């Protein structure tokens, strides 16, 4: 079975982590950490003995599509979708041809309401955003089939905390979009004097009407980017 790391030797360095080159360098202090070695072995065992999402090649897809120095916006999710063929390595996104999950439907509704025009692309694969500098990052990058949150507490959270800290410390004038309490907890790692943090309720049908709809995160993001001489995101 193909796995996204090679397992021929202990992970003492970054050589066996298949991640985009700029991220490999930016996160080099993480590869040798005990938590990451433990995480690596856990993920290996899970893929060998269970159905795990996303496909191994897509574990680090968010990083592949959005190199470290190209990030302008970070949208934080919780963990991948746990249904067949849904998770594709980008938070809130689904693969081409898969029905849109309710949260993504609500995100699209808010884009149209916020920006006052209809979406051109209604497909669920948000690669078009990632290629413009939107890092679509789940806090946990893998999940067992039909078991939401099953890979929480295994080390992914420490890894994605490190991602957020590194961006906060080494980049300037980024936008962090935090939907729901879980994402908001990650905000502790963000220097709000250097970056814009947008917080609201989660786009889930259970909470969207309690502060997500009408929060205007997409226009706020583009106004901030334009105000810092950066190119706005084409959300459509």
Known catalytic residues are: 79
pLDDT-derived band of residue 8, with 50, 70 and 90 as boundaries? very low
Better-predicted residue by pLDDT, 15 or 214: 214
* pLDDT for 9: 35
pLDDT (average), residues 102-114: 98
Decide if pLDDT at 127 tops 50: yes
* pLDDT for 96: 87
Decide if pLDDT at 138 tops 90: yes
Burial of 116 (0-12, 13-18, 19+ CB in 10 A): exposed
pLDDT-derived band of residue 144, with 50, 70 and 90 as boundaries? very high
User: pLDDT tens for residues 72-94?
Assistant: 999 999 999 999 999 999 999 99
User: pLDDT tens for residues 190-225?
Assistant: 999 999 999 999 999 999 999 999 999 999 999 999
Whether the bond between 42 and the residue before it is cis, its omega within 30 degrees of 0, is: no
* Alpha carbon distance, N-terminus to C-terminus of the chain: 37
Tell me the C-alpha distance between 60 and 31, whole Å.
14
pLDDT (average), residues 20-46: 97
pTM score of the predicted model: 0.93
Decide if pLDDT at 166 tops 80: yes
* pLDDT for 15: 57
């Amino acid at each position: 079975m193909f796995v996204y790391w090679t397992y021929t030797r202990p992970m003492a360095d970054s050589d066996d982590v298949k991640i985009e080159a700029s991220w490999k360098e930016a996160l080099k202090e993480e590869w040798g950490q005990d938590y990451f070695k433990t995480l690596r072995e856990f993920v290996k065992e899970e893929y060998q003995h269970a159905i795990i999402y996303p496909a191994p090649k897509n574990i680090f897809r968010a990083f592949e599509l959005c190199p470290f120095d190209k990030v302008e916006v970070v949208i934080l999710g919780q963990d991948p979708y746990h249904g067949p063929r849904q998770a594709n390595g980008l938070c809130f996104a689904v693969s081409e041809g898969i029905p849109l999950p309710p949260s993504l439907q609500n995100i699209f509704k808010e884009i149209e309401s916020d920006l006052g025009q209809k979406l051109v692309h209604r497909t669920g694969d948000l690669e078009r955003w990632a290629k413009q500098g939107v890092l679509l990052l789940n806090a946990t990058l893998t999940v067992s089939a039909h078991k939401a949150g099953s890979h929480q507490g295994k080390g992914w959270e420490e890894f994605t905390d490190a991602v957020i800290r590194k961006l906060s410390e080494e980049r300037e004038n980024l936008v962090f979009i935090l939907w729901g309490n879980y994402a908001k907890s990650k905000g502790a790692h963000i220097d709000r004097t250097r970056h814009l943090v947008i917080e609201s309720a989660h786009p889930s049908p259970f909470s969207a009407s309690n502060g997500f709809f009408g929060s205007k995160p997409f226009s706020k993001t583009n106004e901030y980017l334009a105000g810092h001489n950066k190119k706005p995101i084409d959300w459509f």
